[in-house]
Structure 1
Amino acid sequence: MTSPVLSSSGPDTVPGGPGAPDPGALPASSRQDWCWHWVRSHTEDSTPLESPEVLRLRGRLDTGALRDALAEIETRHEALRLHLAGDGGPAADAAWPGQRLRAAPGGLDVVPVRPGDEEAEVTRTLDRRLDPTDRMARMTLLRSADDDHVLVGQFHHLVMDATSHDVFRRELAAGYAARTGAAGGTPAEGPAPFGYVDMIRREGSARAGEDRRDRAAAVARTLRAHGADQPLPAGPGAEVTHRARFAGIPLALSAEHGERLLRWCREQRTTPHNALLALLARGVAEVYERDRLVASVYMHGRTTPAARGAVGLLCNVLPVPLDVAGGSLSALARRTGERVLAAWDGVDLPLSAVADHAAARTGTEAVFRTAMSHLEFRMTGGAGRSGREAGAPLPFGAGLSAEHMAYEPPDRGLRFSGRRQALQCARTLYADAHVTENGVTGSLWYDEQYHDTVRLTRVSDIFHAYVGNLPVS
């Protein structure tokens, strides 16, 4: 195996970290844990870990009703009122500084904008990074005319996930409609049935902590047995720097092959998510001559009916041990599905707790989210995590139309704050897939400083060959 060289073009680590912990502050939730370490793995000139919500509002707007609806959402959903109690900047060796809950919502800033300058002002607004020690949610209303506004919601990923955006939009539309007397408007009553702070406190109990430590140790043993401490070999002359350099190989499937995959999934009683993960893992295993791999998947973590209507970061990154050698593709897909389902039991495990037992980190240093896996897989559409319904109408009522504006932050790339974090990211392969009725789009991403492009092209070829030859009736 070729060992990569990490060049000295960046700092070893950023020293520092918060002082003595605040005894009255809250710990991180099990879901915030991986996100905190992701933040700490990068320097400040990396793409910010924020999740915007941008809505174009056309029609006569009742600003007071909008302000009250937003305040109600922040009051009901505690995650939006959390802020860090100490240093929130990047430092690979800094521990969680604690967080506190604001008593009141953050309000709404109204900014006048010249007509035609809305998109540029959205960019300027979102370029002002959140200070998580002050707040992790900020709302700005851009007004270009009495009947033309853009609402810009800025959320730190520590308190927001994709499903939360859906909940936020629904409650905002319903709350505004209720305050303006529109038909179908339903005001929210009382606090949300799911308490984010209550979840944090339950997780912080002595009994829960002991249980999680035992389960984290058991998960780590399984991951080590599947090669978590044996990364995929580097390409010839690999030299990983602190600045990631990603390249992608298409994994797209035509409508015909996409339909073949879906038919095979129905016949095998498996999901497209598990089937795609299984086929990709088999391709990686064949090229790298591995019998076992560890994959990383994202699970929404909304394990109770109350949590399904919650705003807050509830998804978690789960390492999934896979046995990929031998047997038919049908058997492989079933085994993969069983492993993914079993991993669900660990959705409340902090990723750092598993990493501690798997020797993926030392002390308080940040652990990159894929530190223990060979392949990260994300899927949207089909039976995977649903994307935002950008075209779905929002019933604000009262002659007000709302359109979701897509916004992609400038990609500043990833610069790592430490050597181990850079290598943990570089060693992993990253696959994304979006399933529609017109086929599958997606790519296999990799840091070209570490991985051999020729090898990964073979992985893609094997994957496409498997899909094209799936036996369907």
Structure 2
Amino acid sequence: MTGDLAARVAALTPEQRARLRAALPAARRPELTPGQRRLWRTHHQVGGRPVDVVCQAVHLTGSAVDLDRIADRLLAFAASHEALRTTFTTEGDTVRPVTHAVLPPRLVRTRCADEAEAHALARSQAEEPFDLAAGPLLRVTLAEGPAPDEAWLLFAVHNLVFDAWSFELLLDALGAGTTADAPTGTSGTPRTSGAFGRFAADQRAWVGSPAGRAAAAYWTAETADAPPPLPTDRPRTDATTRTGARAGFTLPAAVADAITAGAKREGATAYAGWLAVAWAALAEFGGSDDVLLGTFTTGRTSPDSQDVVGYLLNVLPVRLRGAGDGGHRDRLRSARDITRAGLRHAAYPGELIEAPRRLEGTHPLLDAVFVFDNLGDEERRVQGALATSADLDKATARYDLTLAVYPGPEGVTGWLEFDTALYDASTARALAERFTALAGAAAQEVDR
């Protein structure tokens, strides 16, 4: 029955579809989430540049893989998750998601001579403008390598339908040791796994609940009398293209291990330990110990949302205050307590926070964001091949400043992404170097 209905709707003319949408009760008509609305605005504000596009290169080494089988799994994965079959249409001033019965991703087969060529191809794939109304919004290039035991999977996905957790779910599906076929229902059509539409409806209902109203009050209080944004080399303007660059850094395993161990001794997570280091660097940079940072949460606060593919990522403020003597231990304890308090209200969409602070650019509240990404810290294999993922620099900047920390077995890698319209490369390099110096000092402090 579901398949018949989908086919009948697909056969309607545009005028008939418009009349059908108008006849649907408002409560049943799909809407963008607050996060998606921000992404939609940014997409058009920056002229379609790949600011909010996932661009990943997965290097497969050590064992030959069957790219045809991988292609089958990619098609099955997209078919079983409604977000990846979604496009977006405008109705007057309103943008609505449209979920298609069938919308396969764009798959391309090619060959790459080396990593540089593969990464360049991935960036090119991401830079090609996305047609949000026509789709598809998932593009994958499957590239053979120079040797039989080497290949690349190159992904470009618009964030409107995908986030970092979704990418982990996709890699799980590619690495699973079961059949490549998608789970199917009795009608033979792909069974939707973790429907994003259900998440969006649940989120809207929760925002209006007593718990949602309590979370709104909490975040309003947290952002009241917020400190000014961080200094820039040039004035902020609303006319931004978010052209960016990155200043990379590495830290040895001894430093990373000490910060993690120090955090555990205080009953805190490694995230809080690194957040304390970021706080120290940005407080010094901005001249105030009162720092308002953005931070990412997965947005998957219920068991039902764990397998949902889509943009559930939530960007929330973290107000860092109470540095004590300014040492790492005092900052760590404050960061621990502040983040614990915020986690109780982490389901509230950051875009709905009512705060007096308003900035020019693509985000009205946040100029600087801290990212601690340990989602992919376990070894992954696809058909026996080791799968190593790289998040590629697209020469864009989602925020004025983004400080990203990636822990790994050999230590920490990371980068400071900066908007080149606001910051000189020398400023960004100096801030990144100061961050690594403060991380080293923090490691020495907790070892004493």
**Fold in common (TM above 0.5):** yes
Counterpart CA distance in 1 for 2:261 and 2:438 is 17
Encode CA deviations 1:122-157: one digit per residue, 9 max, x unaligned: 666555443221224345576879x99876554211
Q: Which has the higher contact order (CA 8 A, sep 6+)?
A: 1
Counterpart CA distance in 1 for 2:411 and 2:151 is 36
| Aligned with 2:411 (options 433, 439, 443) | 439
Letter of the structure 2 residue corresponding to residue 79 of structure 1: A
State the partner residue of 2:376: 387
Is 1:188 the counterpart of 2:183? The answer is: yes
In 2, are the aligned partners of 1:287 and 1:458 still within 8 Å (CA)?
A: no
Q: Aligned pair in 2 of structure 1 residues 432, 62: CA closer, same or farther (>3 Å)?
A: closer
Give how far 1:377 is off. 0.9
| Aligned with 2:79 (options 75, 78, 99) | 75
Give how far 1:319 is off. 0.6
Give how far 1:343 is off. 2.2
| Aligned with 1:311 (options 301, 309, 312) | 309
In 2, are the aligned partners of 1:194 and 1:307 still within 8 Å (CA)?
A: yes
Encode CA deviations 1:275-305: one digit per residue, 9 max, x unaligned: 1211321343345442422111111122223
Letter of the structure 2 residue corresponding to residue 178 of structure 1: T
Summarize the alignment of residues 27-42 of structure 1 with structure 2, pairs less than 5 Å apart.
Answer: 27-42=31-46
| Aligned with 1:368 (options 353, 356, 362) | 362
In 1, are the aligned partners of 2:103 and 2:136 still within 8 Å (CA)?
A: no
Encode CA deviations 1:148-175: one digit per residue, 9 max, x unaligned: 9876554211111222122123324548
In 2, are the aligned partners of 1:251 and 1:443 still within 8 Å (CA)?
A: yes
| CA RMSD after TM alignment | 4.4
Give how far 1:52 is off. 4.8
**SS at 1:188 equivalent:** coil
Higher helix share: 2
Encode CA deviations 1:175-205: one digit per residue, 9 max, x unaligned: 8x425xxxxxx96365456321111122334
Q: TM-score by structure 2 length? A: 0.72
**SS at 2:208 equivalent:** helix
State the partner residue of 2:169: 167
Counterpart CA distance in 2 for 1:80 and 1:259 is 38
Encode CA deviations 1:208-241: one digit per residue, 9 max, x unaligned: 37864663354133212332xx223445x75767
| Aligned with 1:411 (options 370, 374, 394) | 394
State the partner residue of 2:160: 158
**SS at 2:352 equivalent:** helix
Counterpart CA distance in 2 for 1:461 and 1:388 is 21
Letter of the structure 1 residue corresponding to residue 394 of structure 2: D
In 1, are the aligned partners of 2:52 and 2:159 still within 8 Å (CA)?
A: no
Q: Aligned pair in 2 of structure 1 residues 332, 285: CA closer, same or farther (>3 Å)?
A: same
Q: Aligned pair in 2 of structure 1 residues 295, 55: CA closer, same or farther (>3 Å)?
A: same
Q: Aligned pair in 2 of structure 1 residues 44, 270: CA closer, same or farther (>3 Å)?
A: same
State the partner residue of 1:276: 274
Give how far 1:98 is off. 1.2
Summarize the alignment of residues 326-337 of structure 1 with structure 2, pairs less than 5 Å apart.
Answer: 326-327=324-325, 329-337=328-336
In 2, are the aligned partners of 1:299 and 1:316 still within 8 Å (CA)?
A: yes
Q: Aligned pair in 2 of structure 1 residues 368, 209: CA closer, same or farther (>3 Å)?
A: farther
Counterpart CA distance in 1 for 2:105 and 2:248 is 44
Structure 2 unaligned regions, length at least 5: 1-17, 186-190
| Aligned with 1:378 (options 364, 371, 379) | 371
Encode CA deviations 1:64-87: one digit per residue, 9 max, x unaligned: x66664443233321111110239
Q: Aligned pair in 2 of structure 1 residues 319, 105: CA closer, same or farther (>3 Å)?
A: same
Counting matched residue pairs gives 407
Give how far 1:347 is off. 3.2
**SS at 1:169 equivalent:** helix
Counterpart CA distance in 1 for 2:81 and 2:419 is 38
Letter of the structure 1 residue corresponding to residue 278 of structure 2: L
Letter of the structure 2 residue corresponding to residue 432 of structure 1: A
Counterpart CA distance in 1 for 2:241 and 2:67 is 46
**SS at 1:319 equivalent:** strand
In 1, are the aligned partners of 2:380 and 2:388 still within 8 Å (CA)?
A: no
Counterpart CA distance in 1 for 2:128 and 2:367 is 35
Give how far 1:467 is off. 1.5
Letter of the structure 2 residue corresponding to residue 379 of structure 1: F
Counterpart CA distance in 1 for 2:262 and 2:42 is 36
Encode CA deviations 1:95-137: one digit per residue, 9 max, x unaligned: 66111111224266565x5786994876665554432212243
Give how far 1:430 is off. 2.8
State the partner residue of 1:3: none
Counterpart CA distance in 1 for 2:126 and 2:419 is 28
**SS at 2:438 equivalent:** helix
Counterpart CA distance in 2 for 1:469 and 1:206 is 45
State the partner residue of 2:349: 350
Q: Aligned pair in 2 of structure 1 residues 345, 33: CA closer, same or farther (>3 Å)?
A: farther
Letter of the structure 2 residue corresponding to residue 312 of structure 1: G
Counterpart CA distance in 2 for 1:461 and 1:59 is 39
Summarize the alignment of residues 219-238 of structure 1 with structure 2, pairs less than 5 Å apart.
Answer: 219-227=219-227, 230-234=228-232
Structure 1 unaligned regions, length at least 5: 1-18, 88-93, 180-185, 396-400, 417-424
Counterpart CA distance in 2 for 1:84 and 1:313 is 14
Counterpart CA distance in 1 for 2:442 and 2:159 is 35
Q: Aligned pair in 2 of structure 1 residues 375, 359: CA closer, same or farther (>3 Å)?
A: closer
**SS at 2:316 equivalent:** strand
Q: TM-score by structure 1 length? A: 0.69
Counterpart CA distance in 2 for 1:100 and 1:150 is 31
Encode CA deviations 1:315-355: one digit per residue, 9 max, x unaligned: 2111111114324533431221222222234433333311x
**SS at 2:130 equivalent:** coil
**SS at 1:342 equivalent:** helix
